[in-house]
Amino acid sequence: MPRRRDLKRVMVIGSGPIIIGQAAEFDYAGTQACRSLKEEGFEVILINSNPATIMTDANIADRVYIEPLTPEFVTKVLRKERPDGLLPTLGGQVGLNLALELSEAGILNEIGVELLGTPLTTIKKAEDRELFRAMLREIGEPVPQSVIVSRLEDAVAFAREIGLPLVVRPAYTLGGTGGGIANTEKELVEIAARGLKHSIIHQVLLEQCVAGLKEIEYEVMRDGADNCITVCNMENLDPMGIHTGDSIVVAPSQTLSDKEYQLLRTASLKIIRALGVEGGCNIQFALDPKSFRYYVIEVNPRVSRSSALASKATGYPIAKVAAKIAVGMRLDEIRNAVTGKTYACFEPSLDYVVVKFPRWPFDKFSLANRVLGTQMKSTGEVMAIGRTFEEALLKAVRSLEIGVFGLRLPEAEKLPEEDLEKKLTVPNDERLFIVAEALRRGFTVERLASLTQIDPWFLEKIGKIIAFEKRLEIERGFGPQRLEEAKRLGLSDRTIAELTAVTETEVRERRGTIGLQPVYKMVDTCAAEFEAETPYYYSAYETEDEAPPEAGRKVAVLGSGPIRIGQGIEFDYCSVHCVWALRREGVKALIINNNPETVSTDFDTADRLYFEPLVAEDVINILQKEQPDGVVVQFGGQTAINLAKPVAAAGFRILGTSVEDTDIAEDREKFDRLLEELGIPRPAGGAAFSVNEATAVARLIGFPVLVRPSYVLGGRAMEIVYNQDDLVEYMRSAVRVSPEYPVLVDKYIFGKEVEVDAISDGEDVLIPGIMEHVERAGVHSGDSIAVYPPQSLTPEIEEKLVDYTVRLARALRVRGCLNIQYVIGPNKEPYVLEVNPRASRTIPYLSKITGIPMITLATQAILGRKLRDLGYTTGLSKRGAYIGVKVPVFSFAKLLDVDVSLGPEMKSTGEVMGVDRDFATALYKGCVAAGYSFPQEGTLLVTVADRDKEEAVPVVQELAGLGFKILATAGTAKALQSAGVTVEVVKKLHEGSPNIVDLLRAGKINLVLNTLTRGKMPEREGFRIRRTAVELGIPCVTSLDTMRAIASVIKAKMEGELISVVPLQEYHLEEAQV
């Protein structure tokens, strides 16, 4: 069946902002799907609120709507565009939920839009727990038994019937409080009693416990003619009980015999057929390690994080194929784009091992609970490919960029044995290193297996690495043969160096002398059975190299690695655009990256893809082989920037701004000198290497001060300090973070923050736009609401910003991108806060709203082209007719124990954009897209710090005027009352019941305004208020600036303005006509 001819226009729903559990994989899937549909001649309409995506680029879909992903806005787009079909299975859970809602509301019928791909009944069957279980029972596939009980006796009876252990989950409680695993009847009675008490509706769910079983996943595809294949299976190193997103995952499975492999494959096919999925789906099984007994745990009837991983692990483009299936094509009609010869109707065969490793945000959230369980906590992941498990695992570890290059974690070495054992049973993010440490201390595999439930096979492999390390350590040196063994096992040069007390460079040189270099093998979907065309490579210490250096002019682009707080999908956007620009300029582009969720690691993005760790050793190996004409480091975030020095030292040319000039911008002293020369002001301050030095600086410039370690990313360990005691405490904790760099102490200027992105060719400096932050300095720029064009800057200030930016760009000899952050002081003077001579996270947002292809221009400038020849000149570009508001999105609901208050440490995981001609509407759209639901009426709770009390009055007054009832704590209430606001006083937590938290839980508060105070007790109270609000889904605002913006949104909404939607392709139509 070729593609359907009755369809012409297809709409695709994206997944919105990046949050924990929904990351870049949907940009990868969506981009592939849109291109796949366009390839078949469809007109593609896309809606997605996330501007930092490739899929929302004008060349990916014909009509791109960056609008909120709510039924209301999707309906608006549907009504406006009237597509023939809607494809919802590529936008994660968001896409599926929207399709369900729209269908149930009758909107799809009314507009006459056909749902493409997997039918709705299927989605319901997979999503609704009861329907799902009923279907599985019908086809004879086992599910863990479960029951909902409201009486203790029933719980006990169930346990006696099916046996222990049981998982107890109270219905409707916060963060799963009161649940647990009961191993004995006594425990069951205890936990169930507690659960029943905590449950609002007095019910608990009892489920057969599958924790400890093997967790196995299959990626399955089915077309409309009922042809089915499995793309890949994956085995979680961590057993059931740890979310697969937080597990180390291996592809293909390692410990399953063919009987087990086929048992689960056959079950997978049976399930996808019974569900009637048309496209891809992910099926999770729990498999008993001691028998053929298994349970079906979950089915995702859509592309997912796992499908992105499976695609990158095998080379099989699941999303691309799923999109073609949705428009009627059959698997055997779709070409295998990797071989170019075979068809999509086959099962990939791997001749390598893939390891996926999660990247957790605990470096940012040092106080968060690091224990891993059923709630996913990682923000991103890396993937590594090797010819052995050890090689792939060690590559994955060094790809994480957590300062670890092998299996040795200094903290673990210090742990007493009891703690070590405890950490083995209660897993956290450091589990692998804890296991390694236990092996180092002589724990047996049997003991470890029983403590961790990790299959002995994996433990033996880790043990092999440890044993080899020990041998190297004892021998205190290595001959050529030992070195080759080490490299074939996957040990990094750095690990070898550490173990044998030489330097990493010496190891590299020794390798050079004996000609021990890795070869590059191809990922070809078929284990070399067919000749393949894809240039997708990984390294291995083998004999045959399959990637003869690319001929002609070529440039290597260093990617940005795993998604983490402070370094998100924006940098993948930049890397991809750089690659595209290079190719358009006739230069071959090689990309090096290790993040399987991204577009940059799609096999057809670059001329060559090296799926490798982004650390000096692996990058230099590739460069030595390819000998590119240059290396681009400015688009891959701090990951790539950090590689500039070693890459340059190894003799390769860094294209764009030089390493030395980048260093001037990052080195405090050099930068101060430059600013002085240029006469550009910055907040007073200095560098300090000790507590005394810091105190001296603070005394000189006066509190409050902003303190941070140098070489920052995402505001790590940055803090505003108001007094001496806090400064001393900060110095104690922060200096430990990075001992080689000083701590910077700056005067904290409480003013408006603005951000400028510029592109320079060394002479001309193009400034596409200035962005104004809603929140004043002190809130990390990544966590601020940003507005383009600025709404409150005077022409004089703008002029000064342009002048400073141009002069800084020239002084730093910037070639490519430059980002500067300024604060406008009370004297209306801009002060430079930070200069980043690289692409920033605002690039995609600004590129889209200004229509200026920033990365393309930057890449051209890097290659030596002149902006003037490309039609651009120095200075600020003309404003467009549309206003774009970037709103940050947080994942607080997923991370318990994390304070939601905004500060200089970045906490957001993603962003959305609201676009309109009118500021308030753009802000409204942005806020709606970010998931804020604003009560139009109800009760506002105000509890603010003393220093904010006066300033809080007008905005609270405004909301009271809009009809909100105001509650406040005593101090705040007093300030409000004296300004004539009617306020009801509420009790603080320590003042008895009913207090704030009680009222929040009772649903009596609809909106919270709480600003951070200092001092220990109140802070804890604030923390509890904020956490409770977040967990109950009540909007909690921690900045007065945000509150004012929201008040204007609420007001605009009340005035009932008619809101329209506009595609990206029309943002700049009017100027074009002028």
**192 binds another protein per the rule CB under 8 A:** no
Query: What is the C-alpha radius of gyration for the chain, rounded to an integer number of angstroms?
Result: 29
Segment interacting with another protein (CB under 8 A) among 451-459, 585-593, 665-673, 678-686: 451-459
**509 binds another protein per the rule CB under 8 A:** no
Q: What is the 3-state secondary structure (H, E, C) of 738-749?
A: CCCCCEEEEECC
- Beta-bridge partners for 772: 754, 787
Minimum gap (Å) between residue 503 Cβ and another protein:
30
**521 binds another protein per the rule CB under 8 A:** yes
**266 binds another protein per the rule CB under 8 A:** yes
Q: Interaction with another protein in 344-363: which residues (CB under 8 A)? A: 345-353
Minimum gap (Å) between residue 370 Cβ and another protein:
28
If one counts every other C-beta atom within 10 angstroms of the C-beta of residue 610, the result is 27
Q: Interaction with another protein in 301-340: which residues (CB under 8 A)? A: 331-332
Per-residue binding string, another protein, 203-242, x by CB under 8 A, is ----------------------xxx-xx------------
Please say which residue, 515 or 1056, places its beta carbon nearer to another protein: 515
Q: In angstroms, what CA-CA distances link 913 with 17, 72, 132, 886?
A: 9, 16, 36, 4
Q: What is the residue type of 637?
A: G
Minimum gap (Å) between residue 453 Cβ and another protein:
13
Q: In whole angstroms, give the CA distance from residue 343 to residue 526.
A: 11
Minimum gap (Å) between residue 533 Cβ and another protein:
15
Minimum gap (Å) between residue 486 Cβ and another protein:
15
Considering only residues 265, 377, 398, 800, which one is a binding residue for another protein as defined by CB under 8 A? 265
What backbone phi and psi angles, to 5 degrees, belong to 903?
-160, -165
Minimum gap (Å) between residue 428 Cβ and another protein:
25
Please say which residue, 352 or 580, places its beta carbon nearer to another protein: 352
In the three-class reduction of DSSP (H, G, I as helix; E, B as strand; rest coil), residue 166 is classed as strand
Q: In whole angstroms, give the CA distance from residue 919 to residue 115.
A: 35
**What sections of 7-46 are H helices per DSSP?**
25-39
Q: Interaction with another protein in 460-499: which residues (CB under 8 A)? A: 460-461, 464
Q: Which of 594, 622, 572, 563 is nearest to 910 (CA)?
A: 563
In the three-class reduction of DSSP (H, G, I as helix; E, B as strand; rest coil), residue 60 is classed as coil
Please say which residue, 428 or 517, places its beta carbon nearer to another protein: 517
**529 binds another protein per the rule CB under 8 A:** yes
Minimum gap (Å) between residue 25 Cβ and another protein:
24
Please say which residue, 12 or 540, places its beta carbon nearer to another protein: 540
Q: What is the DSSP letter of 742?
A: P
Minimum gap (Å) between residue 725 Cβ and another protein:
55
List CB contacts of 938: < 8 A, sequence separation 6 or more: 964, 965, 1005, 1006, 1007
CB 557 within 8 A of CB 589: yes
Segment interacting with another protein (CB under 8 A) among 523-531, 612-620, 627-635, 830-838: 523-531
Please say which residue, 263 or 870, places its beta carbon nearer to another protein: 263
Q: Interaction with another protein in 773-832: which residues (CB under 8 A)? A: none
Interface with another protein: number of residues (CB under 8 A)? 55
Q: Interaction with another protein in 544-573: which residues (CB under 8 A)? A: 544, 546
Instruction: Determine which helix (DSSP H) or strand (DSSP E) holds 995, and give its type and residue range.
Output: none
Residue 984, exposed/middle/buried by CB under 10 A (0-12, 13-18, 19+)? exposed
Q: What is the residue type of 941?
A: L
**527 binds another protein per the rule CB under 8 A:** yes
Q: Which of 92, 84, 108, 77 is nearest to 30 (CA)?
A: 92
Residue with tokens 């009809």: 963
Q: In whole angstroms, give the CA distance from residue 259 to residue 543.
A: 33
Q: In whole angstroms, give the CA distance from residue 669 to residue 738.
A: 18
List CB contacts of 547: < 8 A, sequence separation 6 or more: 520, 522, 535, 537, 608, 625
Please say which residue, 526 or 960, places its beta carbon nearer to another protein: 526
CB 228 within 8 A of CB 269: yes
Q: Interaction with another protein in 382-411: which residues (CB under 8 A)? A: 387-389
Minimum gap (Å) between residue 761 Cβ and another protein:
45
Considering only residues 261, 919, 932, 934, which one is a binding residue for another protein as defined by CB under 8 A? 261
**What sections of 203-290 are H helices per DSSP?**
258-275
CA angle 601–604–605, rounded 5-degree value? 60
Q: Interaction with another protein in 271-290: which residues (CB under 8 A)? A: 289-290
Minimum gap (Å) between residue 387 Cβ and another protein:
5
**8 binds another protein per the rule CB under 8 A:** no
Q: Which of 876, 823, 836, 840 is nearest to 681 (CA)?
A: 823
**1016 binds another protein per the rule CB under 8 A:** no
Considering only residues 174, 212, 408, 457, which one is a binding residue for another protein as defined by CB under 8 A? 457
Q: Interaction with another protein in 239-258: which residues (CB under 8 A)? A: 252-258
Site for another protein, rule CB under 8 A: 225-227, 229-230, 252-259, 261-262, 265-266, 269, 289-291, 331-332, 341-343, 345-353, 387-389, 455-457, 460-461, 464, 521, 526-531, 542-544, 546
